[in-house]
Chain A
Amino acid sequence: MEKYNIVIIGGGPAGLAAASAAYDEGERSILILERDKELGGILNQCIHNGFGLHTFKEELTGPEYAKRFIDQVVEKKIEYRLNTMVMDISPERVVTAMNRTDGLFSVEAGAVILAMGCRERSRGALNIPGYRPAGIYSAGTAQRLVNMEGYMPGREVVILGSGDIGLIMARRMTLEGAKVKVVAELMPYSGGLKRNIVQCLDDYGIPLKLSHTVVDIEGRERVTGVTIAEVDSHNKPIPGTEEYYSCDTLLLSVGLLPENELSKTAGVELSRVTSGPTVNEQLETSVPGIFACGNVLHVHDLVDYVSEEAAMAGRNAAKFVRGEVPEDRSKELPIHVEGGPRYTVPCTIDPAKLPEQLTVRFRVGSVMKDRYVCLYLDGERVLRRRRQIMAPGEMEELVFKKSMFEAHPDVRDITIRVEEA
């Protein structure tokens, strides 16, 4: 059986950054397995700009951003295999994959980094009633068709969901010559970044209807129209508010789901909130030596943060392989959340293993204005940061410092609490 010290599942932004950072940490035996025909992952179809503001201090398109990391991987001569689908990961870190040339093969890995990304929630998962004609696409599928294959999926478009891909596609479809009639959003707030609402909808006069959903899809062969209606506070459609939009296309941008079917084969424990693995401060999952980063861990808004997180996973995986991280995990403490955050990544911490600084990321469950985000150690507040506004569509972070924990050597309770300012 082939052996690599680190096997990375996925050659998108997370996998590339993890590989590059593991190399910089001194690791040379690295293999990236990528299911697509090229590296770069979903960035390849994100041809709009706005990537890399944090990482490179400039505005790049998705493919440009990906290229910077692909170049690093190529320069460092990190091995990768394309068109290769990983079929199974065992708890003992044997990765089984398949492609045309190698057939079905297994690789023994010193450490595994999960970087498979996420998938889009489908119409079926929402139980949207109506017919099942052609013309219903997830926003990402439409994005691939338009941006990578040069095809128009439709002419008159209604978009359900105001996640970032939906917003980006509203603008893209408009620029390609389609008429985007409306974006409907179930929640009373948008799921996307504020800047995308301004630049993708407002600038093109596309209406955003909050607290609205699609209640019927018409069309036997191809979509001929959809009906949207306002919803009440329980997200139930309000009778009498139905509006019919004739269209040939319905795009869905109704949420992203970390794609963890493989993680399950390895016995990795998943969070019910994020659908991603529960990880410690090393970004190590419940299975020793299996790390996770990027959208497979939790869905991000900005790729810059994916790269940062993945680099950390890459470094930690390299340290794990070298045996530099103590194996004992019995001292891990959960990070509790109160007053708004729905989860944190990481979700547990062993204070003894903390780096100098650790960025803890989370999302809140509803829009909150004028708050403090506080860190309490055994009931004592050690950190307080003011936030003008927090929304579920924008990931929040809090930076833990090792020094805070050194002042509380016997800490038993770690809590992030959001408080009214």
Chain B
Amino acid sequence: MYDVVIIGAGVTGCAVARYLARYEVNACVLERGSDVCTGTSKANSAIVHAGYDAENGSLMAKYNVEGSLMMEPLSKELDFAYDRCGSLVVCLSEEDLPKLWDLYRNGVANGVEDLRVIGRTELKDLEPNVSDNAVAALWAPTGAIVCPFGLTIALAENAYTNGVEFRLNTEVLEVRRTENGYVIETNQGTVEAKAVVNAAGVYADVIHNMVSEEKMTIVPRKGEYMLLDHAAEGYVRHTVFQLPGKFGKGVLVSPTVHGNVIVGPTALDIEDKEGVNTTAAGLQDVTEKSGLAMKDIPLRQVITSFAGLRAHEARHEFILGECADAPGFFDCAGIESPGLSSAPAIGLHMSDLIAEKLGLSRNEDFKGERKGILDAKTLSPEERNELIKREPAYGQIICRCESVSEGEILDAIRRPLGARDLDAVKRRVRAGMGRCQAGFCSPRVIEILARELNVPESEITKTGGGSKYIVGTAKDRI
């Protein structure tokens, strides 16, 4: 029997796991996908909100502000990409100015530091491509951008190396309360735990409702995005939001930590918890709204579009804590924006709560530091040559668009909780993330995966399950 079973290896589940590892605990994360970070955590705006938006007094406000403060030191401790580029909420008409000041006051009340309302001139200096209609903006220097894959994978790896078990491809079918805790039936057998953490994202209601009479409903709220090529780098310097107002609600335009530009999201409540398809209407919506706060967006540079599902609960509030009618069952539900920003704070507090409940003692051997995958591009030419001499694989570029070498791909596969499919490699080292969208590198990444995992190439998938890349050999059915 485990002390704790965490359901879901998204950013929240992995954060809980990582902070829980600070205690002497026998814990396990169950994940339906073939990798960590395959649900909402992989398809979002990739930003760390400063914390001015969430309603003062809410859990969202508390955890957002705290998470935002934790994120930078955590990015150094766990070695993931983070950039405090600052964010702007652009106001497009004089009549909307009072709302901008409301937002400012809300932010100050939430404890967000260094907030300022700035005028058109200063705004233009900060963000030269801002709309000519912009009259003012809320300037939040503490707003940041982050790699959501990097963050989630770093948390997971660090939890794993500190002793937390991960079971991938493991879907929870049933959770039952027993005298000693909980029995969890999965497609890979039964596990038992004294405590359960429900971090199941859009499925958090399904898991919750298995043990509680106080029924919960999580609505998948779809957000569609477009991602622009590096060629657009520099077009936007900060995360630019548009203040909802006279011109409607806009979408954000932001740089990413890897030099792309992200535009989106839409917001549409749907029924299908698997409905991560993009739609013509959604992409059209993004295109139109992107031009509200920013001008001349180089949408010709779009390299991909995608959709993510926010785990929306009707009250638009995080549901965090032990379930009233299910002792030892801890919900981390309704984790929608600012969920990514809040994850470290949620992980910290939830793990403390669970530790107190189970009477866990401190893990004296906990090592909070983790070294990420080396990005050879950051090395000096001399260092790079030293590396290639030691490990020639670093001299072989596999993904030409993102300049990813075989050495980096091997690291992604061989490290703890290593990549097992194409998308898992992509999330770790960006092979296939560039402008050709894996056209050139995917056959070669498959070759490397097959060799490393010692399986035929036909067994390699795009993203686990039945997502086979190759279905047979030429003329095999003739």
B469 partner residues in chain A, CB cutoff 8 A: 134, 153
Quick check: is A207 within 8 A (CB to CB) of the other chain?
no
A216 partner residues in chain B, CB cutoff 8 A: 277
Quick check: is B359 within 8 A (CB to CB) of the other chain?
no
The binding surface of chain A is classed by DSSP as mixed
Alpha-carbon gap, A187 to B28, bound state (A): 54
Quick check: is A26 within 8 A (CB to CB) of the other chain?
no
Near B by CB (< 8 A), chain A positions 129-144 give 129-134, 137-138, 140-141, 144
Q: Check if A221 sits within 8 Å of B465, measured CB to CB.
A: yes
Quick check: is B282 within 8 A (CB to CB) of the other chain?
yes
0/1 per residue, B451-470, Cβ < 8 Å to A? 00000011001111111111
Alpha-carbon gap, A221 to B465, bound state (A): 7
0/1 per residue, B112-154, Cβ < 8 Å to A? 0000000000000000000000000000000000000000000
B105 partner residues in chain A, CB cutoff 8 A: none
Alpha-carbon gap, A100 to B398, bound state (A): 12
Q: Check if B437 sits within 8 Å of A123, measured CB to CB.
A: yes
B393 partner residues in chain A, CB cutoff 8 A: 100
0/1 per residue, B190-230, Cβ < 8 Å to A? 00000000000000000000000000000000000011000
Alpha-carbon gap, A237 to B466, bound state (A): 31
Near B by CB (< 8 A), chain A positions 51-86 give 83, 85
Interface residues on A, range: 35 or more
0/1 per residue, A107-139, Cβ < 8 Å to B? 000000000000110111101011111100110
Quick check: is B258 within 8 A (CB to CB) of the other chain?
no
Partner of B282, one of A103, A129, A248: A129
Whether A124 contacts B395 in the complex (CB less than 8 A), given A134-B462, A221-B465, A222-B466, comes out as: no
Quick check: is A388 within 8 A (CB to CB) of the other chain?
no
A140 partner residues in chain B, CB cutoff 8 A: 439
Quick check: is A149 within 8 A (CB to CB) of the other chain?
yes
Quick check: is A154 within 8 A (CB to CB) of the other chain?
yes
Quick check: is B302 within 8 A (CB to CB) of the other chain?
yes
Whether A127 contacts B462 in the complex (CB less than 8 A), given A151-B457, A152-B476, comes out as: no
Quick check: is A145 within 8 A (CB to CB) of the other chain?
yes
Q: Check if B466 sits within 8 Å of A127, measured CB to CB.
A: no
Q: Check if B467 sits within 8 Å of A149, measured CB to CB.
A: no
Quick check: is A98 within 8 A (CB to CB) of the other chain?
yes
Alpha-carbon gap, A144 to B447, bound state (A): 13
How many whole Å from B403's CB to the nearest CB in chain A? Answer: 7
Partner of A152, one of B303, B440, B466, B470: B470
Partner of A127, one of B226, B397, B472, B476: B226
Q: Check if A98 sits within 8 Å of B388, measured CB to CB.
A: yes
Q: Check if B475 sits within 8 Å of A177, measured CB to CB.
A: yes
Q: Check if B384 sits within 8 Å of A104, measured CB to CB.
A: yes
Q: Check if B463 sits within 8 Å of A134, measured CB to CB.
A: yes
How many whole Å from A174's CB to the nearest CB in chain B? Answer: 11
Q: Check if B277 sits within 8 Å of A103, measured CB to CB.
A: no
Residue of A nearest to B385 (CB): A103
How many whole Å from A398's CB to the nearest CB in chain B? Answer: 30
Near A by CB (< 8 A), chain B positions 355-391 give 381, 384-385, 388-389
Q: Check if A99 sits within 8 Å of B396, measured CB to CB.
A: yes
Q: Check if B302 sits within 8 Å of A127, measured CB to CB.
A: yes
Alpha-carbon gap, A73 to B472, bound state (A): 37
Whether A145 contacts B470 in the complex (CB less than 8 A), given A127-B302, A129-B280, comes out as: yes
Quick check: is A370 within 8 A (CB to CB) of the other chain?
no
Quick check: is B178 within 8 A (CB to CB) of the other chain?
no
Partner of B437, one of A99, A122, A153: A122
Q: Check if B388 sits within 8 Å of A100, measured CB to CB.
A: yes
Alpha-carbon gap, A366 to B437, bound state (A): 29
Quick check: is A220 within 8 A (CB to CB) of the other chain?
yes
Partner of A151, one of B392, B400, B473: B473
Quick check: is B283 within 8 A (CB to CB) of the other chain?
yes
A124 partner residues in chain B, CB cutoff 8 A: 227, 302-305, 437
Q: Check if B443 sits within 8 Å of A144, measured CB to CB.
A: yes
B473 partner residues in chain A, CB cutoff 8 A: 150-152
How many whole Å from A327's CB to the nearest CB in chain B? Answer: 31
Q: Check if A149 sits within 8 Å of B384, measured CB to CB.
A: no
Partner of A131, one of B227, B277, B443, B468: B277
B314 partner residues in chain A, CB cutoff 8 A: none
A131 partner residues in chain B, CB cutoff 8 A: 276-277
Alpha-carbon gap, A254 to B166, bound state (A): 42
Q: Check if A100 sits within 8 Å of B474, measured CB to CB.
A: no
Most chain-B CB neighbours within 10 Å: which of A83, A129, A176? A129
Q: Check if B471 sits within 8 Å of A154, measured CB to CB.
A: yes
Quick check: is B326 within 8 A (CB to CB) of the other chain?
no
Extra contacts, 13 of them, besides A134-B462, A151-B473, A152-B476 (Cβ < 8 A), are: A99-B395, A100-B395, A103-B389, A104-B385, A104-B395, A122-B437, A129-B279, A134-B468, A141-B439, A151-B474, A215-B280, A216-B277, A222-B466
Q: 22 pairs across A/B with beta carbons < 8 Å?
A: A100-B396, A101-B392, A103-B388, A103-B395, A104-B395, A122-B303, A124-B227, A124-B302, A125-B437, A127-B302, A127-B305, A129-B277, A129-B278, A129-B279, A129-B282, A129-B305, A133-B462, A133-B467, A152-B470, A152-B473, A155-B471, A177-B478
- Residues of chain B touching chain A, judged by Cβ–Cβ distance below 8 Å, are 226-227, 274, 276-280, 282-283, 302-306, 381, 384-385, 388-389, 392-393, 395-397, 400-401, 403, 435-437, 439-440, 442-443, 457-458, 461-478
* Top 6 A-B pairs, shortest CB-CB distance: A124-B304, A134-B462, A122-B437, A100-B392, A85-B397, A103-B385
